[in-house]
């Protein structure tokens, strides 16, 4: 685990002579991130080698860490691997071919006719996109079930020679995580998915990107990205309105926690209490920005809090490169005998 104090001390040690040192330290403090988890020891992470070894670490650590998370998700859904009809794998921090879905099918008891849907280039939006694609699949194949796996090792993208402010901020913001969830075509509890939508802000294609080099993925973040909630808030409002809901008056919000300004601005533009995003803020505080896994952890936190009442109107939204928004609307279904 890496604490905020660890991060600040590291920034001082490695970048104490940076011309914008005070700005960098202030930005890191203001992320709201208190702790993060990384797959390698910190000093080993700082010695990151070239692309080949980074990718080998990604594959090795995915195989070590994903199975137990998948088993937990299936157990909570009351399903076996053989009950799953599709696997949606999302990740933007490593690459393998075939997809890790093939390894899961071969080693964990999934059927050999299980559909595979790996998504690699939607970044932080991919968690919500995975929910939407799983929803699409279950609507197209009534009675089926889909497994979602998000595997993000953001620390493998650390680049010791990238000293721009955006890169240094990212070094203090992103964390590693594995998350999984099940979308059931029939039965189960949680969010009954009803509507999904996507939107790309025109002209923002270069705002979040990777420069792919022999050293690996070099994350590029435009300074205008934190301001994207102003054009996206009306989109969320419009999607909710098309479903007969008011985006400012829902019961549960699971929003991508890219940083505190994203959450604060969205609350302001939707005219809702910033505390409404408490589950997303808790993810940011405890784990940092864990990319596609953020919305899945937010859902986990709602379950850990005892879930929501039956009928609770829920919005899930992820934001990522493009600039892309993936939006899901649904109504909470509590176990029999619970809720009002």
Going across the sheet that includes 324-333, the strands are: 190-200, 324-333, 313-320, 252-255
Q: Is 124 a catalytic residue?
A: yes
Degrees (nearest 5) of the Cα angle 213, 215, 216? 70
* Residue 27 backbone dihedrals phi, psi, to 5 degrees: -65, -40
Residue 329's contacts (CB-CB under 8 Å, 6 or more residues apart) are 193, 194, 195, 196, 239, 240, 243, 245, 313, 314, 315, 316
| 294-304 helix and 278-287 helix, angle to the nearest 10 degrees | 110
| 100-108 helix and 51-77 helix, angle to the nearest 10 degrees | 50
Nearest partner of 131 among 64, 63, 179, 83, judged by Cα? 179
Degrees (nearest 5) of the Cα angle 33, 35, 41? 130
Cβ count within 10 A of residue 115: 15
Q: Kind of pairing, strands 115-119 and 216-221?
A: unpaired
> In angstroms, how far is CA 258 from the centroid of its own chain?
9
Catalytic residue among 92, 124, 138, 154: 124
Active site (catalytic) residues = 124
């Amino acid at each position: 685990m890496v604490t905020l104090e660890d991060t600040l001390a590291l920034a001082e040690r490695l970048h104490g002579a940076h011309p914008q040192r005070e700005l960098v330290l202030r930005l890191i403090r203001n992320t709201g991130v208190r702790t993060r988890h990384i797959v390698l020891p910190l000093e080993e992470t700082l010695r990151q080698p070239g692309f080949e070894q980074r990718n080998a670490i990604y594959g090795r650590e995915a195989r070590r860490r994903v199975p137990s998370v998948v088993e937990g998700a299936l157990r909570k859904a009351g399903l076996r691997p053989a009950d799953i009809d599709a696997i949606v794998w999302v990740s933007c921090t490593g690459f393998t071919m075939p997809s890790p879905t093939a390894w899961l099918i071969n080693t964990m008891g999934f059927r050999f006719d299980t559909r595979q849907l790996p998504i690699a280039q939607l970044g932080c939006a991919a968690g919500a996109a995975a929910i939407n694609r799983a929803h699409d699949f279950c609507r197209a194949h009534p009675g089926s079930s889909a497994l979602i796996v998000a595997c993000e090792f953001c620390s493998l993208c650390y680049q010791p020679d990238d000293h721009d402010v955006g890169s240094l901020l990212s070094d203090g913001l992103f964390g590693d995580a594995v998350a999984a969830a099940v979308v059931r075509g029939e039965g189960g509890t949680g969010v009954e998915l009803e509507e999904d939508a996507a939107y790309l802000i025109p002209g923002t294609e270069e705002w979040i990107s990777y420069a792919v080099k022999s050293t690996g993925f070099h994350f590029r973040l435009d300074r205008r990205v934190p301001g994207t909630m102003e054009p996206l808030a009306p989109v969320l409002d419009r999607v909710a309105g098309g479903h007969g809901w008011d985006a400012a008056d829902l019961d549960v919000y699971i929003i991508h926690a890219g940083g505190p300004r994203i959450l604060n601005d969205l609350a302001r533009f939707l005219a809702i209490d910033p505390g409404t995003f408490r589950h997303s803020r808790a993810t940011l505080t405890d784990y940092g920005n864990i990319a596609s896994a953020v919305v899945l952890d937010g859902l986990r936190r709602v379950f850990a809090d005892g879930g929501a009442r039956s009928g609770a109107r829920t919005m899930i939204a992820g934001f990522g490169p493009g600039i892309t928004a993936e939006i899901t609307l649904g109504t909470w279904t509590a176990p029999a005998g619970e809720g009002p």
